[in-house]
Structure 1
Amino acid sequence: MADTMHLKKDEIVASSLQQMQSQLAVEKMPLREAVAETCRILFAFGHDSGLSGQITARAEKPGTYWTQRLGLGFDEINADNLLLVNDDLQVLEGTGMPNPANRFHSWLYRARPDVNCIVHSHAPHVSALAMLEVPLIVSHMDACVLYDQCAFLPKWPGIPVGNEEGEIISKAIGDKKAILLSHHGLLVTGSTVEEACVLGVMFERAARLQLLAMAAGEIQPIDPELGREAQRWVSTPKRMEVTFAYYSRRASRGHNLPPL
């Protein structure tokens, strides 16, 4: 005889979350490996755009972070060719130079102590929305990880290599986890590398779903309370870790990437 059929939804949710926490085992990567793997995952999911896009993560020393070397594509990044840079983009460890566009990352790290990783890419479906100057609309369960978490910058400030762009973007995102930058691309933040990676992948999927729906008709909104409920359900640290691990396995299977 089933003994859970009488439980309320919130009781089942709480029990399921507890079960996930105790039974979903995943081995976390060291920080540098996780940053490199994020680059490779984004490549596998179609986020590459030549040398555009940056992934950064706070390092142990305050005011420093790891990022990829300019001149390498997402699929060429490994833990050994990452750069350690400071807020002024001076290289402290590694060979080469960072992307000058990393400057707006420095501004965001200063404004948001809760952010430990930033993913920025010019993924195609996000870029298409950016060209239309249309905000991201979250209206499907899969995309609810971004429900009420995505800001919108309607005016393109130009190439993001100056301090002005850093000020504009860090203010526009506010306390949200993500932002759609008009005529540019996506930016997501995470308290961990795993979270930022997952949000980046899901941002592009949400944009693709939106464009498909817009082509067929008018997008209907979801109930705000249910959207927030879904956002909480899929946003636990354990869920992010397990999803990141799956993305990593999928990337390695699908693209024959070399070892880290």
Structure 2
Amino acid sequence: MAKTMALPKDQLIQKALKQMQGSLADNTWTVREKLALTCRILFDNGHDSGLAGQISARGPQPGTFYTQQLGLGFDEITASNLLLVNEDLEVLEGQGMPNPANRFHSWVYRARPDVNCIIHTHPTHVAALSMLEVPLEVSHMDLCPLYDDCAFLEAWPGVPVGNEEGEIISAALGDKRAILLSHHGQLSTGASIEEACVIAQLIERAAKLQLLAMAAGSIKPIAPELGREAHDWISRPKRHSAAFNYYARQCLRVHGDCLN
């Protein structure tokens, strides 16, 4: 005899959340390993625009963060070749230099103490959508972690190597987890590396779906209350961790060297 068929939705949601806490396992990778995995995951899923883009995660001391070397593509990043830098982009650990565009990461970290990972890339569909100077439209259930959570910067401030760009981008991001940058790309953030990775994956899929839908007709909006409900339901640390673990299993079947 079924016991849950008459339960209201809010009780079923709470029951599922409790089950997730006990059933979905966390991973044990280090910060360096999760960053390397994220680079390979993103590279395999369209975030492969040469040397463009950066990834970072807060380091062990305030004002420090891990990032990749300038000159290496995302498909070449390993746990051992990442750099530890300070806010002035001075290398504290590792060999080589960081991307000078990492400067705006320092501004975002200063403005957002809740952010522990930043991913900036120029994937194909995000880049194409950015050329139209239109915001991201979230109108599908799968995309709802971005519902009312993706900012838009319409004016391109130029190459992001100055402090001016850091101020502009961090201000435009505001309290959102992602931002579409016109004539540029995307920036995704997360309280964890897992969350930032999932958001970066999602924004490229969202841009692709938006372009496909725009080519076929006018995009119809979803009800705001349902968009917010789906946002909160999907945007859970356990869900992000489970999704990341799935992507990582895919990645490691091909890129086992990234954990070196």
What is the TM-score with the length of structure 2 in the denominator? Answer: 0.98
After TM superposition, the structure 1 = structure 2 runs for residues 189-200 of structure 1, keeping only pairs within 5 Å, are: 189-200=189-200
Residue correspondence of structure 1 range 106-185 to structure 2 within 5 A:
106-185=106-185
Is 2:75 the counterpart of 1:71?
A: no
Contact 1:114 1:191 in 2 (8 A): yes
Q: What residue number does 2:186 align with? A: 186
Q: Which runs of 4+ in 1 moved over 3 A?
A: none
Matched, 1:231 2:218: no
Q: Gaps (5+ residues) in structure 2?
A: none
Indicate conservation of the 8 Å contact 2:153/2:172, yes or no.
Answer: yes
Question: Which residue pairs with 1:258 in the alignment?
Answer: 257
Distance 1:65 1:256 in 2: 24
Letter in 1 for 2:248: S
> Residue type matched to 1:103 in 2?
R
Partner SS state of residue 65, structure 1: strand
Letter paired with 1:72: L
Secondary structure of the residue aligned to 1:79 is coil
Unaligned runs of 5+ in 1: none
Letter in 2 for 1:119: I
What is the DSSP-based 3-state SS (H/G/I as helix, E as strand, rest coil) of the residue aligned with 2:120? strand
Q: Deviations over 1:116-175 (max 9, x none)?
A: 000000010000010111110000001001111000000000000000000000000111
CA distance in 2, matches of 1:226, 1:62: 39
Q: Tell me by how many angstroms 1:114 deviates.
A: 0.6
What is the rounded CA distance, in whole Å, between the counterparts of 1:54 and 1:123 in structure 2? 12
Partner Cα distance (2:250, 2:230) in 1: 24
Question: Cα offset for 1:259?
Answer: 4.5
For 2:147 and 2:202, locate their aligned partners in 1 and report how far apart those are by CA, in whole Å. 11
SS of the residue corresponding to residue 26 of structure 1 reads: coil
- The letter of the residue matching 2:222 is I
| CA distance in 2 between partners of 1:257 and 1:142 (Å) | 29
Residue 101 (str. 1) matches residue 79 (str. 2): no
Conserved 8 A contact 2:37-2:258: no
Does the Cα contact within 8 Å between 1:49 and 1:122 map onto a contact in 2? yes
- Equivalent position of 2:241 in the other structure: 241
RMSD (Å), alpha carbons: 0.9
After superposition, what is the alpha-carbon deviation per residue over 1:200-227, rounded to whole angstroms, capped at 9, x for unaligned? 0001001111111000000000011110
TM-score (ref. length: structure 1): 0.98
Partner of 1:26: 26
